[in-house]
Amino acid sequence: MKLLSILTFAAAVSAIKCGRNVYSEKQVKDADAAACNHVQGHTRAGKYPHVYKNHEGFTFNGLKGPFFEFPLLNSGIYKRGSPGPDRVIITQKCERAGEITHTGAKRGGFVACSGTT
């Protein structure tokens, strides 16, 4: 991983709950770092990361977009295939914006995971 990716995500992350899934600090930071590496390297894993348009109106702690979404998995880093329902959201500058999930949302939409506004 790029050093920049590791340093960018130094902010404290506690356990995150998305629907019935609970993610550790390490899982969230690893997904954030993978998303950052793809955004900065202009690469993709399957269809991710891609621009997240924030139709739901999350404030993401006042961070400014553009935002990118990337799958958050219980079993490693997303490479391809089914992305599951949960996502990390980062800015183009690789700032951690939050986590969102399709679980409990209207079809095609998202709701916030714990800690995301």
Q: Which of 25, 42, 50, 95 is catalytic?
A: 50
DSSP string for 78-94: --SS---SEEEEEETT-
Q: Is 38 assigned a catalytic role?
A: no
Q: Is 55 assigned a catalytic role?
A: no
How many whole angstroms separate alpha carbon 99 and alpha carbon 101? 7
Q: Is 56 assigned a catalytic role?
A: no
- If residue 29 lies in a helix (H) or strand (E), which one and from where to where? helix 25-41
Q: Which of 38, 95, 99, 102 is catalytic?
A: 102
Q: Which of 38, 69, 95, 99 is catalytic?
A: 69
Active site residues: 50, 69, 102
